[in-house]
């Protein structure tokens, strides 16, 4: 073994001098060397080489840009970094805008009466059996986010009974906040009377009082932003979320509720915004979370959108989507997360 | 390059499947060409997008000439179509619901009785329908050329099976003399179709040791074999699969549980003892019903409730479909996913058209195959047929990867290896082969080590580390080379 290693070492040190041939490098992975000292030495060398190469590349790139600038040419196109999202596995269920079946399916689904503004959403919010500390606070904030929502104490009722009751009282959705160890950790959204049941994991909950410089929301009906719900399943989840909110936002309120999907995590944010026309940029620094939204508009100055976060901040992850209302025993699932699906980091379902 | 782990689907033999979905569409999926590894594609779509015409049940009478397809829709219409081109032959309303809205009493079971037709004129069809409230009827229709005038011939019988519950599943046995149904609060019933009389009812299993009684709720049922009406399998909402034997007892002979969600579909194999079970969370498995042992699960990232399973009459292929709007085709022997077709809508039913034969495929698969249709196929017979298909598959799959290897002239061992990998779980013939192979492999490995000192062995190890599967294959080929 030792002799073998030595041979390898030699070849490595030979190559390391100037330009190590890439195929040689491949078959002598440092992790294959059994002697720790030698392994770490080889590893360090490799790392150093990589670092130098990277620096060289960056320098060349900068030089090219600079030269282009001097010559007044078009600078070389910036490379788009590879991210997990833009190298996502191809998914044939991604909704296409010209798909007539999709629209027919939308018209036939459970939310179409609300989304076509034939009926108004009416939400019932309840909790799991034991609820304390952050749970009630979270619900209080949820009530301020979702218009036309009422909180009912859970009591000792079965969820199926509550679904029945809510159906009788013409509620259109039921939200159950599940708390574990005094911390809300799951959200169940049930469409009524027939609609699907979505079970979300809830994490990273930050309440309003813990957000610095938070605003207090008004009672206007909010605008809704749904980002990146691309696949068929995502589309359905998007529609489920959409059916929780009134379809005619009150734009005067300048309230916006965002559900942003990224890598199957749905980020919830609640903001108040304002468009301000400013001559200079000085005021921007005063604004807490400023953003150039519209850019230049006219010679006067910039119209900037200033955002103020209000309301809770949390992250949802879909665990299952059940066909019909809540029924754990005999229910049919439209989608369940199974461990065998997690074979790639680049596969997303929403 | 992003590392993608999409499973390579080997494709499937030439076949034709019909799927029915919740928007009332009928979609035809065909796989044609290339020697048993064709990519199935959506070729036709019949019907217009209308959610009130959602398909509840479908039945196919696939005789050689003039096949018929009956479809029951949510609005109470029953349509009889030509499954070859989708032409509507005629449509009738489900007359048994007098004064009841069709939405309140949907059709739970629909069967085209094929054998009955033989005695009658060839241009007629007999429909057996059963609604959820328990109104069953047998009606015969004379097929006339213009679709508008349909004459109902005399033999129209309607009777109430009066269950009091909600019928969810029904089945007609191979001889078409017996009719079976069950549902929510309805025990399994077997009826004689000639006399319209109940001949047998199941008895619920006793309370369990804790004294808890599970309410009756059957969701799916199937007869175990085509020529035996006495044994049938039923799936329940309480995730139990039960085997009933009419001749033995009224309680289930065997009963076992499968996973934790309701069983949604059950299908039988041609061999008479294997059954396929699909449940509400998208798990599909095959069981040996004689012992109740799990043979294996069909794994393929299937995540929506499985509504329907169909077994192909000739090839060892099953199709499953459900709420995840994929039609999936599986190899029965290896339990490998052959192909998945995305069909955009939640599907309710899938059927195989057994008379479909591709022109090219006809050459490859001689008509001898066709003889098997309708017969009881012995398992050995079936297995005899599969290997050629598989070998071809493996050869082609391999082709691109180890072209160089095959050029050098040792195509033979390489191919064998491949087959070993592909058909690892194939019960029929592989075990002796496998054992031999493994022995050979071990022996040759040792040899290789002995021959080529430390260097070679170390290199081998390195390859193993680098990439598990492909390197293994390559290595094996290498070893074979050496030996």
| Domains of chain B listed by start with CATH number | 15-365 (2.130.10.10), 379-482 (no CATH)
Interval A217-266: pLDDT, tens: 899 999 999 999 999 999 999 999 999 999 998 899 899 999 999 999 99
pLDDT score at A184: 93
Nearest to A334 among B262, B324, B465 (CB): B324
Q: In sequence order, what are the residues at sequence separation of 6 or more whose Cβ sits closer than 8 angstroms to the Cβ of residue B146?
A: none
Indicate if the alpha-carbon torsion angle B72, B75, B79, B83 is positive or negative: negative
Q: What is the DSSP string of A42-111?
A: HHHHHHHHHHHHHHHHHHHHHHHHHHHHHHT-PPPPPPPPP-TTTTPPP-TTB--TT-HHHHHHHHHSTT
pLDDT score at B218: 92
The candidate with the shortest Cα–Cα distance to B28, out of B14, B17, B39, is B17
A59 and A176 both lie in a single domain = no
Residue spans of chain B under pLDDT 50: 1-3, 147-148, 359-483
pLDDT score at A27: 66
Residue A91 counted as domain residue: no
As a whole-number percent, the residues of chain A with pLDDT over 90 amount to 55
Chosen from B305, B339, B343, B456 to mutate, greatest number of chain A CBs within 10 A: B305
The pLDDT of residue A156 is above 70: yes
Residue of chain A nearest B240, judged by CA positions: A330
Contacts of B22 in chain A (CB under 8 A): 108
Residue A314 counted as domain residue: yes
pLDDT score at B434: 44
Q: In sequence order, what are the residues at sequence separation of 6 or more whose Cβ sits closer than 8 angstroms to the Cβ of residue A189?
A: A173, A174, A175, A197, A198, A200, A240, A241, A244
Interval A179-205: pLDDT, tens: 998 899 999 999 988 889 999 999 999
Distance from CA of A232 to the nearest CA of B (A): 8
A37 and A120 both lie in a single domain = no
Q: With a CB-CB cutoff of 8 Å, which residues 164-203 of chain B face chain A?
A: none
A interface with B, Cβ–Cβ below 8 Å: 1, 3-4, 7, 27, 29, 31-32, 82, 87, 89-90, 92-93, 99-102, 104-105, 107-108, 232, 323, 329-338, 340-341, 343-344, 346-347
Distance from CA of A333 to the nearest CA of B (A): 5
Mean pLDDT lowest for which of A126-135, A331-340, B147-156, B363-372? B363-372
Question: Could B465 and A4 be called an inter-chain contact, meaning their C-beta atoms sit closer than 8 Å?
Answer: no
Domain at A240, CATH number: 3.40.50.10480
Distance from CA of B259 to the nearest CA of A (A): 11
Residue A95 counted as domain residue: no
SS (H, E, C) chain B: CCCCCCCCCCCECCEEEEEEECCCCEEEEEECCHHHCECCEEEEEECCCCHHHCEEEEEEECCCCCCEEEEEECCCEEEEECCCCCCEEEEEECCCCCCCCCCCCCEEEEEEECHHHHHCCCCEEEEEEEECCCEEEEEEEECCCCCCCCEECCCCEEEECCCCCEEEEEEECCCCCEEEEEEECEEEEEEECCCCEEEEECCCCCCCCCCCCCCCEEEEEEEEECCEEEEEEEEECCCEEEEEECCCCCCCCEEEECCCCCEEEEEECCCCCEEEEEECCCCEEEEECCCCEEEEEECCCCCCCEEEEEECCCCCEEEEEECCCEEEEEECCCCCEEEEEECCCCEEEEEECCCCCCHHHHHHCCCHHHHCCCCCCCHHHHHHHHHHHHHHHHHHHHHHHCHHHHHCCCHHHHHHHHHHHHCCCCCCCHHHHHHHHHHHHHHHHHHHHHHCHHHHHHHHHHHHHHCHHHHHHHHHHHHHHHC
Output A2 or B104, whichever has higher pLDDT: B104
Q: Which of A50, A71, A92 is the last residue of a domain?
A: A71
A197 and A327 both lie in a single domain = yes
Secondary element (H or E) of residue A175: strand A173-180
Distance from CA of A191 to the nearest CA of B (A): 17
Chosen from B212, B261, B343, B467 to mutate, greatest number of chain A CBs within 10 A: B261
A199 and A147 both lie in a single domain = yes
Whether residue A261 contacts residue A227, with contact meaning beta carbons closer than 8 Å, is answered with: yes
Chosen from A95, A101, A344 to mutate, greatest number of chain B CBs within 10 A: A101
Question: Could B237 and A99 be called an inter-chain contact, meaning their C-beta atoms sit closer than 8 Å?
Answer: no
Interval A291-327: pLDDT, tens: 444 444 445 678 888 899 998 999 999 999 999 899 8
Output A113 or B144, whichever has higher pLDDT: A113
Interval A23-64: pLDDT, tens: 455 567 888 889 999 999 999 999 999 999 999 999 999 999
Question: Could B280 and A101 be called an inter-chain contact, meaning their C-beta atoms sit closer than 8 Å?
Answer: no
Contacts of A101 in chain B (CB under 8 A): 23, 25, 49, 344-345
A113 and A245 both lie in a single domain = yes
A104 and A9 both lie in a single domain = no
Residue of chain B nearest A102, judged by CA positions: B344
What is the interface size between A and B, counted as CB pairs within 8 Å?
103
A250 and A154 both lie in a single domain = yes
Domain span at residue A40 reads: 2-71
Q: With a CB-CB cutoff of 8 Å, which residues 313-352 of chain B face chain A?
A: 323-325, 342, 344-346
C-alpha to C-alpha distance for B365 and B342, rounded to whole angstroms = 28
Contacts of A108 in chain B (CB under 8 A): 22-23, 51
Phi and psi of B447, rounded to 5°?
A: -55, -50
Distance from CA of B451 to the nearest CA of A (A): 16
The pLDDT of residue A328 is above 60: yes
A43 and A185 both lie in a single domain = no
Question: Could A336 and B303 be called an inter-chain contact, meaning their C-beta atoms sit closer than 8 Å?
Answer: yes
Residue A15 counted as domain residue: yes
A136 and A260 both lie in a single domain = yes
pLDDT score at B151: 56
Q: Which of A51, A71, A91 is the last residue of a domain?
A: A71
Q: Which of A54, A71, A88 is the last residue of a domain?
A: A71
Residue A244 counted as domain residue: yes
A41 and A135 both lie in a single domain = no
pLDDT score at A18: 44
As a whole-number percent, the residues of chain A with pLDDT over 70 amount to 86
pLDDT score at B368: 39
User: Looking at this predicted complex, what is its ipTM?
Assistant: 0.76
A47 and A171 both lie in a single domain = no
Residue A89 counted as domain residue: no
Question: Could A335 and B304 be called an inter-chain contact, meaning their C-beta atoms sit closer than 8 Å?
Answer: yes
The pLDDT of residue A95 is above 70: yes
Output B110 or A278, whichever has higher pLDDT: B110
A329 and A205 both lie in a single domain = yes
Residue A189 counted as domain residue: yes
Per the structure, the count of domains in chain A is 2
Residue A88 counted as domain residue: no
């Amino acid at each position: 073994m030792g002799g073998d290693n030595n041979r390898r070492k030699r070849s490595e040190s030979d190559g390391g001098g100037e330009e190590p041939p890439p195929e040689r490098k491949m078959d002598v992975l440092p992790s294959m060397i059994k002697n720790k000292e030698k392994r770490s030495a080889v590893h360090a060398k490799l790392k150093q080489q990589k670092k130098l190469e990277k620096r060289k590349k960056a320098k060349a790139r900068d030089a090219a840009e600079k030269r282009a600038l001097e010559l007044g040419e078009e600078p070389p196109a910036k490379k788009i970094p590879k991210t997990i999202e833009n190298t996502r596995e191809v998914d044939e269920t991604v909704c296409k805008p010209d798909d007539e079946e999709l629209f027919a399916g939308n018209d036939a689904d459970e939310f179409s009466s609300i989304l076509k503004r034939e009926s108004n959403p009416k939400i019932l919010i309840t909790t799991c059996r034991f609820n304390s500390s952050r749970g009630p606070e979270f619900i209080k904030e949820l009530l301020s986010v979702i218009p036309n929502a009422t909180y009912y104490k859970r009591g000792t009722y079965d969820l199926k009974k509550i679904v029945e009751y809510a159906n009788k009282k013409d509620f259109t959705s039921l939200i159950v906040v599940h708390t574990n160890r005094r911390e809300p950790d799951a959200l169940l959204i049930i469409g009524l009377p027939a609609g699907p049941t979505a079970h979300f994991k809830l994490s990273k909950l930050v309440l309003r009082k813990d957000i610095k410089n938070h605003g207090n929301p008004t009672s206007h009906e909010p605008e809704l932003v749904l980002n990146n719900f691309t696949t068929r399943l995502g589309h359905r989840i998007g529609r489920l979320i959409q059916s929780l909110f009134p379809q005619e936002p009150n734009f005067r309120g300048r309230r916006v509720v965002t559900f942003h999907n990224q890598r199957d995590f749905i980020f919830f944010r609640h903001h108040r915004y304002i468009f301000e026309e400013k001559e200079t940029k000085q005021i921007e620094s005063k604004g807490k979370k400023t953003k150039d939204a519209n850019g230049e508009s006219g010679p006067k100055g910039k119209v900037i959108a200033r955002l103020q976060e209000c309301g809770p901040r949390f992250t949802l992850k879909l665990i299952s989507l059940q066909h019909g209302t809540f029924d754990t025993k005999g229910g049919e699932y439209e989608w369940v997360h199974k461990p065998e699906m997690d074979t790639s980091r680049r596969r997303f379902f929403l | 390059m992003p590392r993608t782990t999409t499973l390579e689907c080997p494709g499937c033999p030439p076949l034709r499947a019909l799927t029915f979905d919740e928007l009332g569409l009928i979609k035809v999926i065909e796989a044609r060409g290339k020697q048993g590894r064709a990519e199935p594609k959506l070729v036709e779509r019949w019907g217009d997008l209308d959610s009130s015409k959602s398909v509840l049940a479908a039945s196919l009478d696939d005789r050689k000439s003039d096949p018929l397809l009956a479809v029951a829709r949510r609005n109470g219409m029953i349509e009889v179509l030509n499954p070859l081109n989708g032409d509507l032959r005629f449509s009738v309303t489900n007359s048994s619901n007098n004064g009841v809205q069709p939405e309140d009493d949907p059709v739970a079971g629909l069967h085209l009785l094929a054998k009955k037709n033989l005695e009658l004129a060839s241009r007629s069809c007999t429909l057996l329908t059963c609604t959820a409230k328990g109104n069953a009827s047998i009606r015969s229709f004379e097929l006339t050329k213009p679709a508008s005038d349909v004459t109902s011939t005399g033999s129209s019988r309607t009777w109430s099976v009066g269950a009091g519950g909600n019928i969810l599943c029904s089945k007609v046995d191979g001889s078409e003399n017996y009719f079976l149904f069950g549902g929510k609060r309805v025990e399994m019933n077997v009826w004689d179709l000639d006399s319209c009389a109940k001949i047998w009812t199941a008895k619920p299993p006793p309370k369990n040791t804790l004294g808890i009684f599970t309410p009756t709720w059957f969701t799916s049922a199937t007869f175990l074999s085509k020529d035996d009406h006495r044994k049938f399998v039923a799936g329940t909402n309480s995730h139990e699969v039960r085997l009933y034997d009419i001749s033995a007892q009224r309680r289930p002979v065997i009963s076992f549980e499968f996973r934790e969600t309701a069983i949604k579909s059950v299908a039988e194999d041609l061999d008479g003892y294997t059954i396929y079970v699909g449940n509400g969370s998208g798990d599909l498995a095959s069981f040996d019903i004689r012992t109740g042992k799990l043979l294996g699960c069909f794994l393929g990232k299937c995540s929506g409730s499985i509504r329907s399973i169909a077994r192909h009459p000739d090839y060892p292929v099953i199709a499953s479909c459900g709420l995840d709007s994929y039609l999936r085709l599986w190899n029965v022997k290896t339990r490998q996913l052959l192909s998945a077709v995305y069909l955009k809508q939640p599907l309710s039913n899938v059927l195989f058209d057994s008379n479909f034969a591709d022109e090219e495929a006809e050459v490859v698969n001689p008509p001898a195959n066709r003889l098997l249709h309708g017969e009881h196929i012995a398992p050995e017979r079936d297995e005899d047929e599969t290997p050629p298909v598989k070998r071809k598959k493996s050869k082609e799959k391999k082709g691109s990867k180890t072209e160089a290897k095959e050029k050098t002239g040792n195509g033979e061992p390489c191919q064998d290896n491949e087959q070993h990998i592909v058909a690892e779980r194939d019960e029929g013939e592989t075990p002796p082969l496998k054992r031999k192979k493994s022995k050979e492999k071990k022996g040759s490995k040792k040899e290789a080590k002995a021959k080529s000192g430390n260097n070679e062995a170390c290199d081998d190890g390195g390859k193993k580390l680098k990439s598990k599967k492909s390197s293994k294959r390559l290595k094996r080929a290498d070893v074979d080379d050496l030996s």
